[in-house]
Amino acid sequence: NRVRLLKDARENYPAWLDAIDTANRHIHFENYIIREDSTGSRFADALIAKAREGVRVRLIYDWMGNFGKSSRRFWDRLRAGGVDVRCYNPPRLDSPLGWLSRDHRKMLAVDGDVGFISGLCIGRMWEGIPEKNIEPWRDTGVEVRGLAVADIEQAFAEVWALLGEPIPVHELINADELRRAGDMSLRVMA
């Protein structure tokens, strides 16, 4: 495996958007918060553009994390643009306290080629607001290339299957299909 450290949103977001832009087969994106602001719109636009090109785009967001931060209109726009969107654990009448379980994962995987794991959510506040002297949210992420990307994608597939129909087996990436990309040992703990 090869791993590259990415410091805060100034390094993570451009790498994520570049990976989305180069996608040919699929994009798997799971994030606790995707704010309906200029940054969230930039990501939504990029995902919709790839879906319209025929790339399979799957997105998981957390209901509680996005409560009051993103409207139904935001998610409907993504769905209308061809993005397969699933919400993690919205409130249900048959499980009044079930919504307490959260999905705090922040990951992106593209085509089995690259995976990103971070603590960054999506929103302008994570980029900082220079005009208000607000620095970017300090959080380190990693870009992973190599065999471990299969584990990142498998972790996504497991949550995806909890929320509805699983990803078809022929679309899943396994380590046998991937190339070594470096000499770093890496274990993904979902």
pLDDT tens figures, 44-103: 999 999 999 999 999 999 999 999 999 999 999 999 999 999 999 888 888 777 777 888
Number of H helices, E strands in the chain: 6, 7
Q: What is the pLDDT of residue 177?
A: 77
| pLDDT of residue 122 exceeding 80 | yes
CA 179 and chain centroid, separation: 22
Are 5 and 142 within 8 A, CB to CB?
A: yes
- pTM to 2 decimal places: 0.94
DSSP E strands, 32-120: 56-62, 84-88, 107-110, 114-117
Amino acid at residue number 150: A
Residue 72 CB: number of other CB atoms within 10 A? 7
Measured over the CA atoms of residue 84, residue 79, residue 106 and residue 17, the dihedral's sign is positive
